[in-house]
Structure 1
Amino acid sequence: MISFETQVFDVDHILGPDGLVASGMRDYEHRPGQVAMSQAIMRSFETSRHLLAEAGTGTGKSFAYLTCAIFKAIENNCRVLVSTHTINLQEQLINKDLPFLAKVLPWEFNANIAKGRSNYICLRRFKFAKDAGATLFDGENSEMQLLAKWVKTTDDGSLSSIPFVPSPKTWEAVQSEHGNCKGRKCPSFRECFYMKARRSLETSNIIVANHALLFSDLVLKKQNGMGIIPDYAYIIVDEAHNIEQVAEQHIGINLSSSRIAYTLNGLFNSGKNTGLLKITGQSELCPLVDDCRKSSELFFQSAEDWIKQQGQSFSGRCPANFIEDTLSPALRALRIKLNSQAGKLDEEDDNRFELGRYVEILKDYEDAVSSFIKRPAEDDGFIYWLEYKAGRFARINLRSAPLEVGPHLQDFLYKPFPSIIATSATLSCGGEKGFDYLAGRIGLNDYDSIQLDSHFDYKNQVKVYIETALPEPNSFEFTKAAADKTLQYIKMTQGRAFVLFTSYRMLDEFADKLRGPLEDMGIQLLCQGSSIDRTTLLKEFVNDTQSVLFGTESFWQGVDVPGESLSNVIIVKLPFAVPSRPLIQGKIEQIRKKGGNPFNEFQLPSAIIKFKQGFGRLIRKKSDKGIVAILDSRIITKYYGRLFLKAIPECTVEQIRS
């Protein structure tokens, strides 16, 4: 291995036609865009500039940024964190790309994946839960027996390596937690899976994480200087078009009536006479749990009554103090009593740590409820709303999110780090100022940008059909006419199609109309939102090359199906966000208040980026071919339609006028 001191970053020597990557890759293809992206990233690192880099599918962007990250980490003896949104990309980086680069590059480096602490089993808590048995789990728990076998053989103790999917109740009883850890005093400290993973990260040059963990780490470091991940000097964010959404979820409130009931039942379930308090022998606190449960039921019943009073005008949004806060005082009273009882126990008593866990959870709930109800009357930059699911077991979620994540990201991301690299295949809306929309939404004011076309030959690989004569999507006639057209296009490819919707309602309507005809054709219909989870749904689609998948939100992006399994993408409607959703509504109102045009500044560019994501599902490698059918005539009849077509690669386009 050549010593690092003799090395310089020569991108052509690494990624060029006669470079190190080419010498180690059997099916190597030179990609000029990959070289250009690598040069732009290294320039940003060395000039301390933030960079937005859009690299079309097939550019080879992961090698472009990983080679720079590895060089910089070794040169500066530091860590570089690479953040992704999807597990698939994390696994590709850790299991495929980084091992390959370790073989061909002349620099020794360590790379590891960072997972949240709750992804690891805690051996001490596992023993506690196993010993508690039926008192904790409402009867015998067969999953604990399976976990006992797995614990003896697992190398990493992580949730993803378990050969079955444990129930949330089981996993929450055994997962590793910050506030429920004895540290070096734990008898299982040497064998602790989380600590082993943490020590691996300490010696890493490259750390791969997801966006949620990255934001959690950054916020904690900003608040108290102690994070989840060892310090890093540079950040590369792949799948960066998701930054705003993840930040909104991370910064806001999301607390449900069922979640509170679940937690209280974990302490004491009066119906089954089980729970932690029965194990710790503190049954005198059980009535206080029952009181808290009644307060919770009263609080959420008041919220449901208020929703019903609004009638058809209920939009989800609610003002401050719309009902009396009967819940946070009850949560506080229970928390204080639990904390007092835990303090009386021996410092090394497992019961003390388990009670302490509930003290922390109840404090989070108390703060969330209080903030939601008693928020400032004036605009605090957040929007608050209720999510309501009616029925016998009604469910209400308290939700809030910042209207602008930019100020938050500036505070804990852009200012502390001299160079943030944000990349994706879909960052720009097209045109000279194509990056302005995303940069504005994520608060990136001073940055460089580069836009690199895809390596694929879309003109010969894709044909786009546009149905110009169909009724507009909001008309009564659209569903039947568009469903008939959908069937025609599915016949063209004998299945092998994604049909992308913007709502479950329309997805269900199409499914009802087409299930019978597809069955007659021997084509399996797979629908998102059915009893099959998303991962299993995608596996079935890939394995059955004569199937059709009806998908909504999450299938527009982050899904990679190369080869003949996917030869057809049908876009039913242009993916404009539903303006009546509280968060979207709040953003629209805010733009209006500032004198802006919400459609041009927000609704249109966000729809264009999502449209690009949907289009991008089709071609994943150089040999792929297929069709894209657009059933929304507005792409031709409205002035803004051309902007959608300009944003995707140049293809053969046929307008269907009959």
Structure 2
Amino acid sequence: MRSEKIAVVDIETTGNSYRRGDRIIQFAVVLIENMSVTETYSSFVNPVQPIPPFITELTGITEQDVADAPDFKMIAPRIQEMLKGAVFVAHNVQFDLPFLNGALRNADLNEFSGPAWDTVELSRALMPEAASFKLGDLTENLLLEHDRPHQADSDALATAELLISLHNKVMNMPLLTVEQLAGQSAFLKSDLDLFFELCIEEKKKNLTDLPDELEVFRGIAIRKKQLVQKSHFKKPEIEIENFISELVPGYQKREAQLQMITDILTAFQTQSHAVIEAGTGVGKTLGLLIPAVIKVNEGKKICITTQTLQQQDQLLETAGKINALLHNSLATAVLKGRSNYIHMMKFEQSLKENDRQYDTVLAKMQLLTWLTETETGDIDELNLSGGSLLYWNRIRHSGWYLDKNQDPWAERDFYSYSLKKAEQADIVITNHAMLAVDKLKDTGTFPRYDHLMIDEAHHLEETCRNQWGIRLDYMKIKFAISRLTGSQEDGISEKLHSILNKHKISCDYFHPESWDRLNQETDASFYQLGLYFKNHVKRQKGFQKQKLLLQGDHSDWKYVKYSFERLLNELKNCLKTLLKQLEAIGKKKTKLTVHEKAAVEDAGALFQEWERLIEIIRTLFIRKHDQYVNWIEGDLRSIPGSLTIVANELDLKDKIQHAFFDDSLPAVAVSATLAVNDSFDHFIQSSGLAGKKLIINKYESPFDYRNHVRLMVPNDLPDIKSVTPEEYVEWITGHLAVIAEATSGRMLVLFTSHEMLRNTYELIKESQQMEDFVLIAQGISAGSRTKLSKNFRKFDKAVLFGTSSFWEGLDIPGEDLSCLVMVRLPFSPPDEPLVKAQWERAKSENRNPFQEVSLPKAVLRFRQGFGRLIRHENDRGIFMVFDRRLLSASYGKAFTDSIPEMKVEEKSLDECIFDIEEWL
């Protein structure tokens, strides 16, 4: 890069807004020329106001640090001089630059008005696979030194090193890719077009050949794909204990793990199914993979399905270590659903569209970078923003409407490549959702296997219910309509119209009035649905998100039905026109350009989506299916936008048995939580395994829970049923604040409802009862579960709020998590539509609905929540349950008996706090 003066700046402040009176407490700048650091400067700044405790906790900067520091006006002239003629660079320049300009204005100096580069934006474009774009995470990822995060001098130097590292990365990228990035960057928020132009200038002076692992095809640089060639080295016979000891440093024999391996092998050899519970610490991953490898040695092919991406990665990583010990003779592949993969023909054409929408532009840049690095084309590798996911929906794989051979990218297609790898693999790792969809549709795309291993099997029924159920929501239909109508040349109808005109194909056209009718009927249908919802839903005070079970038609249901019948008619009319156009283009023997083929593929994917929409509306409003449970869910504050109508089958056991437990293909179901009161009946019944040839076993965790966990129930909490939700939230807020002080944070609070989580979080914020703590909340704080738990571990005084969906797969070992609070026993609400329907069926069959429906599910969730506290053998912690039913209700013993034996301590909150402080 030419001798461009670059000023990398970081500031620490008392808050987020200069206008509202927040001020700088530390300033730092690092000057760069020729991509080398030439000068650094930093200073504490006296803000002439108190530093909030949260800022001190975050930055480590105290009142003493700034007491004798200069105020900003004293150092402002020097800062202005250092910035003169420079490119301004910051990690989140939209914060640092306006804030600094406010301070310069206040010092009666000119604002900085030169070009500015944002390293957050640049990192997003050039490091699309990074899990987080926070400075600390990026520097850790790149192994850059960053000793004092959230202090301006350390952050500025780290940002400078990050910029240099990203520049080096661009210098090693194909010139073609950099030119394409430059073209897109003109529409970013910071002036990164200048950055890329300077990089292009520099690259053109030192042109190099394309690396061997890359190729350019149809104007896009991509990584070459290579099918893994299995070694012909004969796999050695495995002596199980010796093999595990080679794999695991410091291996200590685990009898439970060895017995688990034996049970799985016995099940496979005797054509039986196995149901196994393996507690935390048993070594479930190797307990699955070792018997898989032994069966591979016998010429069998294994499929392992799991629920979470984290467990999928863990299985793949461990399989890689096993493969290294077996001289690379074991082939393992990950297979996901088609929509996880990019459709390259669609992407190629999207690059030619002049779309200036920010999230789309950034997504295109991320994909251009990623294609030079990925071998899989799997979306899960990327960290796309929410807005970028709308663009991804346009270019993701949805199959081929045209003949696959008409796609010039067919030989380089990522989904086809993943299928080939899976066909060649000895072990295929997939997820419950993909396998459930494949089994339902009987597509035959999934490679043949001899044995099935179901990890995290407690999720199986819920995943099948979600995948096999039906959902129709307002936003989905509106989005489908907008894809057809578009804006100007963006709509599929306009693209098809252009193809028909160009090739002089006579056919029916779409008319704007038909789109208007379609939009009007959609709005009218969901307006009627919203009216019905509001008229019949039982409103709970303090809760806006509600669900309404549809049972027995009310007289006003007919208006909803008539509305959707009219909508159905309009959808069918549009679908007919779309089909006629596609057929007319298909019959014409004219050769289409790739751009036109991509438009036809888009239209074909939309056609299939509309067919599904029509079938869903027929199922929900026209046909009567007694086996389905139907309900409406929505937020009373945003109707019709939040409305969704859902239909799920009440009883899935026969379908699950047919899909996963075919007697000709022995299967193993494994989880850390399958049994309720030492009985597997609930899982066996719900999975259709009753009467099957089964091997059943339960392996207890080897951890010393009796001495490492204290289970406490405060006895001064109100009975949940005796107070309103608002009053209960007030009670627990006060308790949480006191417990957080005693544990110095390091606390995970588990809620059964997101509404209660949000209300508690907002009350804590409003009351400032925990202003010294960093509060991280699922669904409120930005980021995935992994990102939130990682942020939680960063701070000494942090509290993490999550719902039941958050409990799964959360792994926070050691002192990072010392206290787990369960706000209430995790029963599903009795008016939850599915639960209500299951209760009514149980009653009609003279069964006990509480004992057979609600209690087993709640106990399993309780066990899963408890399992978050102790992850390793030396962990210690407090498990506090804010629900006295654990001790007072007759069914409370079902919960305490489901976890390792320990004393349940019932005492006042003050006594609990005293014990916590002493014990921790």
Counterpart residue number, 1:93:
315
The unaligned stretches of length 5 or more in structure 1 are: none
Q: How far off its partner does 1:104 sit?
A: 3.3
Change (3 A) 1:286 1:391: farther
Q: Does 1:317 align with 2:538?
A: no
How far apart are the structure 1 equivalents of 2:235 and 2:316? 26
* AA aligned opposite 2:622: K
* AA aligned opposite 2:527: Q
Comparing 486-495 with 626-635, greater Cα deviation is found at: 486-495
Counterpart residue number, 2:614:
366
Counterpart residue number, 1:292:
518
Equivalent in 486, 489, 512 of residue 269 of structure 1? 486
Q: Is the 8 A contact 1:85 1:211 kept in 2?
A: yes
Counterpart residue number, 1:102:
323
Structure 2 SS opposite 1:178: coil
Equivalent in 497, 500, 507 of residue 281 of structure 1? 497
Q: Does 1:235 align with 2:458?
A: no
Equivalent in 640, 646, 653 of residue 394 of structure 1? 640
How far apart are the structure 2 equivalents of 1:2 and 1:260? 53
Q: How far off its partner does 1:404 sit?
A: 1.1
How far apart are the structure 2 equivalents of 1:3 and 1:122? 36
**Alignment of structure 1 residues 568-607 onto 2, 5 Å:** 568-607=819-858
Aligned residue-pair number: 639
Change (3 A) 1:563 1:372: same
Q: Is the 8 A contact 2:530 2:639 kept in 1?
A: no
Counterpart residue number, 2:122:
none
Equivalent in 367, 370, 375 of residue 150 of structure 1? 370
The unaligned stretches of length 5 or more in structure 2 are: 1-230, 501-508, 540-545, 910-920
Q: Is the 8 A contact 1:132 1:279 kept in 2?
A: no
Equivalent in 890, 897, 900 of residue 639 of structure 1? 890
**Alignment of structure 1 residues 538-617 onto 2, 5 Å:** 538-617=789-868
Q: Does 1:459 align with 2:706?
A: yes
Q: Is the 8 A contact 2:440 2:468 kept in 1?
A: no
Change (3 A) 1:188 1:56: same
After superposition, the C-alpha distances for 1:592-634 in whole angstroms (9 at most, x for unaligned) are 1111111111111111110000000011112211111111111
Comparing 352-361 with 340-349, greater Cα deviation is found at: 340-349
Equivalent in 452, 457, 462 of residue 245 of structure 1? 462
Q: How far off its partner does 1:138 sit?
A: 11
Q: Does 1:407 align with 2:654?
A: yes
Q: How far off its partner does 1:286 sit?
A: 4.3
Q: How far off its partner does 1:418 sit?
A: 3.0
Q: How far off its partner does 1:59 sit?
A: 0.5
How far apart are the structure 2 equivalents of 1:162 and 1:310? 43
How far apart are the structure 1 equivalents of 2:516 and 2:618? 20
After superposition, the C-alpha distances for 1:325-345 in whole angstroms (9 at most, x for unaligned) are 222222111112101101111
How far apart are the structure 1 equivalents of 2:253 and 2:762? 47
Q: Is the 8 A contact 2:235 2:326 kept in 1?
A: no
Task: State percent identity of aligned pairs.
Answer: 26
Q: How far off its partner does 1:143 sit?
A: 2.9
Change (3 A) 1:603 1:197: same
Moved >6 Å (runs of 4+) = 137-140, 516-519
Q: How far off its partner does 1:558 sit?
A: 2.0
**Alignment of structure 1 residues 345-494 onto 2, 5 Å:** 345-346=585-586, 349=592, 350=597, 351-376=599-624, 380-391=626-637, 394-395=640-641, 396-415=643-662, 417-431=664-678, 434-445=679-690, 446=692, 447-476=694-723, 478-494=728-744
How far apart are the structure 1 equivalents of 2:706 and 2:258? 23
TM-score, L = length of structure 2: 0.66
Q: How far off its partner does 1:263 sit?
A: 1.0
How far apart are the structure 2 equivalents of 1:189 and 1:595? 57
How far apart are the structure 2 equivalents of 1:481 and 1:600? 30
Counterpart residue number, 1:112:
333
Bigger RCO (CA 8 Å, 6+ sep)? 1
Q: How far off its partner does 1:525 sit?
A: 1.0
How far apart are the structure 2 equivalents of 1:195 and 1:311? 47
Q: Is the 8 A contact 1:458 1:651 kept in 2?
A: yes
How far apart are the structure 1 equivalents of 2:537 and 2:700? 50
How far apart are the structure 2 equivalents of 1:158 and 1:276? 26
Equivalent in 130, 135, 160 of residue 380 of structure 2? 160
* AA aligned opposite 1:156: T
Q: Does 1:40 align with 2:286?
A: no
Q: Does 1:532 align with 2:753?
A: no
Counterpart residue number, 1:194:
415
Counterpart residue number, 2:765:
515
After superposition, the C-alpha distances for 1:91-140 in whole angstroms (9 at most, x for unaligned) are 11112x111222335882111111211111111111122224349x7998
Equivalent in 577, 594, 610 of residue 337 of structure 1? 577
How far apart are the structure 2 equivalents of 1:2 and 1:204? 14
Comparing 559-568 with 365-374, greater Cα deviation is found at: 559-568
Bigger radius of gyration, 1 or 2?
A: 2
Change (3 A) 1:587 1:90: same
Q: How far off its partner does 1:365 sit?
A: 0.1
Q: Is the 8 A contact 1:268 1:286 kept in 2?
A: no
Q: How far off its partner does 1:518 sit?
A: 6.9
Equivalent in 252, 258, 265 of residue 29 of structure 1? 252
Q: Once superposed, what is the RMSD of the aligned Cα atoms?
A: 2.6
* AA aligned opposite 1:298: A
TM-score, L = length of structure 1: 0.91
Q: Does 1:204 align with 2:425?
A: yes
How far apart are the structure 2 equivalents of 1:435 and 1:269? 53
How far apart are the structure 1 equivalents of 2:364 and 2:235? 53
* AA aligned opposite 2:603: L
